[in-house]
Structure 1
Amino acid sequence: MKKMKLRSTFLFGFLMLMISAASTLPTFGDDHEDNEHEKSYHPEMTITCEYYNAKDCKKEPCLPKKITCPDSNGKRQGCFVLWGTNNMTEQPIVEMKDCFIFHDDCNQSECIDYKYEKSAGKNFCCCRHDMCNREFVWKPTPTEPSTTENVNENEKSVHLTDTSKWIWASFLLLSLIGFCIASRYIYHQRKQIFKEIPTAEPELSVSSQCLYIRPIDLIEIKAHGRFGVVWKGKMPNGEVAVKVFSPTEKKSWITEQEIYKLPRMNHPNILHFIGAEKHIFQDGKTEFWLITQYQPLGSLCDYLKSHTVNWQELCKIAESMARGLMHLHEEIPGTRTDELKPAIAHRDFKSKNVLLKPDLTACIADFGLALRFTPGQTVGDLHGQVGTRRYMAPEILDGAINFNRDSFLRIDVYACGLVLWELVSRCSAHGGPVADYRLPFEMELGLDLHLEDMQENVAAKKLRPRIYEEWRTHSGLNAVCETIEECWDHDQEARLSSSCIMERLSQHSRYKQIAIDTTTTTNNFISINNTNDQ
């Protein structure tokens, strides 16, 4: 990237040198040309240009955009185009369109490159009119006949004296100095105007569009949460999910994008991150956007409300979910090509934060409360009782957390056991009737949970969601139930690790879905449901 920046700086500096040198050539003619120059077009200080940068479009297609050139300390603005040519088709290939600092050579309403030969195989033109760089053209013009030929044609004799030669040499020296100054000046201007490599997500507003704003249409709201809302959005290249954070949840917005941007977080069972944006609207309202891949099946929680799963589907969902949690928890040492990936604790693991892909594999989302554990670094200010109350481990409810990495990872494992319970409760593998979807502890404590109820029942009385005997009639479901019980063990030291969960679930998939006699178990299961509904 630094090489690209230096190459671009050299190109612009070279152009400035050529312009400076051209301005020192002796001119011949009458005063008419000077009058014409004085009458040349001088637009307003602020203009609009078409923006395009080919480097922004490597990962996803993008189209040229209309931008308002930022203020440059009172200096006039222009527009420019830098392009090459396809050697096979002779079609122009645009590399960059953007704003440009005023120069006399840009004082025209059309973007035309008159140079007879290209500079470094590229064409460059600039202009001084709103959106004048939308169209561009190369009109190579041969150089003017030499001074000697003009003298012969006009029967005039113009000779450079020793003094004029000295002046010309002085101008060349000044041009070289100007080249150095211009190169450094343009480098700093490009940092401000072009914003090629932002160190943080840009601040966007409706009244002043930024080149990094993505063309997203918000179509419908798909979910609400403590942070704000999740929208289904549409971009030119497909659908996206847009998580809109309120200003009070800015910290979660920052934390989540930082987690997504960590090394080696591009994983099939971690939700794919696209970008983050800050939007400031004309009425002063501020929104923080997090843009991710859209998963049409939604969360595991929503899916289980309207679907049951068979044994193969349960295994696919459970194993891929465990694989994602294992990758999140794993610390991967750095290599020559990749930096270290720290261990990450989710701290709000639940079925709402597990999304399903069209093939029913799972991916983990929502890292607004996540913690990363980089070796040799502190994890910062920690608050114990965070997350969703229903999924809180007993040690969180008791306020007895050991603030170290393993303790936080085991809290995720406890919640994973509850999510696996939700999955088993909607599985038809045992052959009996499947009850309606219920959240963990909904049968025992209801929907409206209070912290005191959770402390008394889950932490003090060691209450857990019920595992029905009908589930244990299937050898595979029975094995999953045993894994669940080891995940939500009251003693956090006795809980499984996420890697162990994944290994067990991958082994469980060898069990086949079998038909069983359900005459007795069906009546018992219906009786249980009727009793619990009272």
Structure 2
Amino acid sequence: MNIVFLFLLVFGFSHCAVDYDQYDDEDLALSIPKDAVGVPKEFRRRVLKEMAIRQKPNDIPKNRCYCNYDESICGKNMTCVKMDGAACYHAVEEKYNKHEKRMETQHKWGCATLERGSGASHLTCNSWRAAHHSPKSIGCCYEGNFCNKDLVPPPYVHHHKEKVLQEEDNSYNETNSSFNNVINGIEMFFIIIAVGMIAFGVVWWAYRRRSRSAKEKPVSLSTESSYWDEKRAMMEDSGSGSGQAALLQRTVRQDLTIIQTIGQGRYGEVRKALYRGSYVAVKTFYTTDEDSWKNERDVYQTNMINHENILQFVAADIWSEEDSMTKMLLITDYHELGSLSDYLCREETLTTEEALRLIHSCLCGIEHLHASVQGTGSFRKPEIAHRDIKSKNIIVKRPNVCCIADLGLALRYQNNEIIPQKYNVQVGTKRYMAPELLSNTLNPQDFSQFKMADIYSMALVMWEIVIRVEVNTCEEVSALDETAADHSASSGIGESISSSDNYSRIQRHQKPKVESPASLKAKPYMPPFDGIVHNDPSFDDMREVVYVRKVRPPPELAWKKVPVLHKLSKLMEDSWHAMPHFRHTALKLKKETTKLIEMTDRQKQQQGKEMFQQQDSCLVESATNRYAC
């Protein structure tokens, strides 16, 4: 009996071993519950691993996103797997901590869903543009490989009501807690109902009043950029065929009252309009120039672009006129003095100081465009090249103060790349184009060469301004010569002014011989190369004149007799040099003109002191004569 039992036991073990090895692969396909009892640990581990692989067929590096949800979503390694074409996201939200009584930032990382029909996650990734009850934002990336781990979401768009909502919620909780601790009984129940009804009525009345005042409150020009940010998602395209059409329930154009047309250019026309009680300039683009409108709008919305010498942006909009033509609007501040070209065409001439301050303000605006400015946090202003500097694209805000306008051709250099990525190198006004643009030798990989092309154009604008100067050379030289020596010791450029051709020293010795004051008559306004090329020169004409023959606008001989004008003429010659790397930077020109302004200010103060002393001596002399009589 024992022998039979032992035989059966050995036969059973051997049979089980054969069966397990033979059907090992087939068992992996069985749907065995994760918590099944009696399954060997090694076998169950292989089954679960196979099931996990089949559940994540897209588990490759480009589809992996960083995830901080619980293990049911992210697993133990804080990783989720997105679908091909979907995005990884980093979402932030401000939550009010009732216990700590402060706002706390909550971060969520994960995988966005793949939207049917779009092949991407547009709705999820653009949800930050819409209004939310609490401040929240989301940033997306499609590269995978945990690209969302260091991703910085866009700043909050809507958060001005959150503080009020928190205070109301906090006040309500404290009041409710106080009632729960103090009031007890049936009598107090009716009091609570009565107070609740009164509170509800007060809150409802306040809500209606606030809603009505919000509708009636006008949006100031300074906050219109914020209004545009709220509508930006709906206005990315005009419906001309390059993007989806967008309809706005309320547009900026409906608040505009067009007054008159004040200018016309290659992209459209500029009109003066009334916008919520203030005059604005409305630049109209046609759909054929939609890219230029988008680029100028984006440049005006660049971080930290606002500057005294950059034209102030108000708003942008898309509008369909009565003739069913879609037009794009760009709204900026209006300045009645018009462009610098119009300002120089007036009959009135300029003084040396006026010309110097006009040039200085233009250089301040260009220097701000060219500079890269680091702000707080991740905010950074990129380098910007204007690419169409000319007197018609410079606005005179008020006497002696200009601002740079028309940024439709501008390029931005951000994160080691040029924005927009598709651009044409040889653009701008041909009369003002630098020789490297005319000869097609500009290196587009070197962004500084675009900025040097701006400097060349600005040098021509400086010449346009200086030829409108009318000055008494004897008075200017005798006055400035007295302060030139002191300026050379303090500013570092006075020596070059006072010692060039030894002119100032000769004037001091020859001043008693001057019998009648000589004057430098201002010439009527003329554009650069006037008389050399016709009004609308061709590209080949300008290439022949500027690049081949190396012709530049001629300086006036009388400028050498005035130290300030002589220094400005030297700065012009250096700035329109044929080689870009020999030209001054905008910062250098700004500093040099600042020194010249300081020198003229000291000269005016010295003149005032001498005049006061002269008047004082005359009074003493007259009093002495009266006493003698």
The TM-score, its normalising length taken from structure 2, stands at 0.51
The alpha-carbon distance between structure 1 residues 331 and 251, as it changes in their structure 2 partners (threshold 3 A), is same
Which runs of structure 2 are paired with 1:68-467 in the superposition (5 Å)? Answer: 116-118=198-200, 121-123=203-205, 197-200=230-233, 202=235, 210-214=249-253, 215-306=255-346, 307-336=348-377, 339-379=379-419, 380-403=421-444, 404-429=446-471, 430=473, 431-467=519-555
SS at match of 2:531: helix
The Cα shift of 1:2 comes to 7.0
The alpha-carbon distance between structure 1 residues 2 and 425, as it changes in their structure 2 partners (threshold 3 A), is farther
> 1 CA distance for matches of 2:274 and 2:523?
37
Q: 1:482 aligns with which of 567, 570, 575?
A: 570
- The alignment-based identity, stated in percent, is 31
SS at match of 1:278: strand
Alpha-carbon RMSD: 3.4
Name whichever of 440-449 and 468-477 sits farther off.
440-449
CA contact (8 A) 2:238 2:328 kept: no
The Cα shift of 1:410 comes to 0.2
The Cα shift of 1:120 comes to 8.5
Partner of 1:47: none
> 1 CA distance for matches of 2:418 and 2:397?
35
The alpha-carbon distance between structure 1 residues 480 and 4, as it changes in their structure 2 partners (threshold 3 A), is farther
> 2 CA distance for matches of 1:120 and 1:373?
54
The alpha-carbon distance between structure 1 residues 347 and 196, as it changes in their structure 2 partners (threshold 3 A), is closer
CA contact (8 A) 1:204 1:277 kept: no
The Cα shift of 1:116 comes to 4.4
The one-letter amino acid paired with 2:463 is W
> 2 CA distance for matches of 1:424 and 1:383?
32
Name whichever of 414-423 and 215-224 sits farther off.
215-224
> 1 CA distance for matches of 2:560 and 2:228?
60
> 1 CA distance for matches of 2:455 and 2:238?
39
The Cα shift of 1:512 comes to 4.0
CA contact (8 A) 1:230 1:244 kept: yes
SS at match of 1:496: coil
CA contact (8 A) 1:476 1:511 kept: no
> 1 CA distance for matches of 2:293 and 2:592?
34
> 1 CA distance for matches of 2:264 and 2:321?
22
Partner of 1:92: none
Structure 2 residue 559 is the aligned partner of structure 1 residue 471: yes
The one-letter amino acid paired with 2:303 is P
SS at match of 1:445: coil
The Cα shift of 1:340 comes to 0.8
> 1 CA distance for matches of 2:249 and 2:94?
25
The Cα shift of 1:445 comes to 1.8
> 2 CA distance for matches of 1:198 and 1:434?
50
The alpha-carbon distance between structure 1 residues 457 and 283, as it changes in their structure 2 partners (threshold 3 A), is closer
SS at match of 1:229: strand
SS at match of 2:520: coil
The Cα shift of 1:208 comes to 7.5
SS at match of 1:117: helix
Q: Deviations over 1:436-463 (max 9, x none)?
A: 1000011322323121111111101100
The alpha-carbon distance between structure 1 residues 441 and 227, as it changes in their structure 2 partners (threshold 3 A), is same
The Cα shift of 1:315 comes to 1.7
- 5+ long unaligned stretches in structure 1: 6-52, 54-83, 85-113, 127-132, 136-193, 516-534
CA contact (8 A) 1:315 1:506 kept: no
The alpha-carbon distance between structure 1 residues 252 and 208, as it changes in their structure 2 partners (threshold 3 A), is closer
> 2 CA distance for matches of 1:223 and 1:2?
47
> 2 CA distance for matches of 1:378 and 1:237?
39
The Cα shift of 1:507 comes to 1.3
Larger radius of gyration: 2
- 5+ long unaligned stretches in structure 2: 1-91, 97-130, 132-163, 165-195, 214-226, 240-245, 474-518, 605-629
The alpha-carbon distance between structure 1 residues 118 and 249, as it changes in their structure 2 partners (threshold 3 A), is same
CA contact (8 A) 2:412 2:418 kept: no
Q: Which has the higher contact order (CA 8 A, sep 6+)?
A: 1
Partner of 2:217: none
The alpha-carbon distance between structure 1 residues 204 and 494, as it changes in their structure 2 partners (threshold 3 A), is closer
The alpha-carbon distance between structure 1 residues 250 and 349, as it changes in their structure 2 partners (threshold 3 A), is same
CA contact (8 A) 1:311 1:512 kept: no
CA contact (8 A) 2:261 2:272 kept: yes
The alpha-carbon distance between structure 1 residues 4 and 365, as it changes in their structure 2 partners (threshold 3 A), is farther
The alpha-carbon distance between structure 1 residues 208 and 368, as it changes in their structure 2 partners (threshold 3 A), is closer
CA contact (8 A) 2:252 2:315 kept: no
The alpha-carbon distance between structure 1 residues 361 and 117, as it changes in their structure 2 partners (threshold 3 A), is same
Q: Deviations over 1:14-42 (max 9, x none)?
A: xxxxxxxxxxxxxxxxxxxxxxxxxxxxx
The alpha-carbon distance between structure 1 residues 195 and 374, as it changes in their structure 2 partners (threshold 3 A), is closer
> 1 CA distance for matches of 2:327 and 2:418?
30
SS at match of 1:200: helix
CA contact (8 A) 2:238 2:326 kept: no
| Greater share of helix | 2
Q: Deviations over 1:483-506 (max 9, x none)?
A: 000110011110000000101111
Which runs of structure 2 are paired with 1:51-66 in the superposition (5 Å)? Answer: none
The alpha-carbon distance between structure 1 residues 231 and 201, as it changes in their structure 2 partners (threshold 3 A), is farther
- Aligned pairs, number: 345
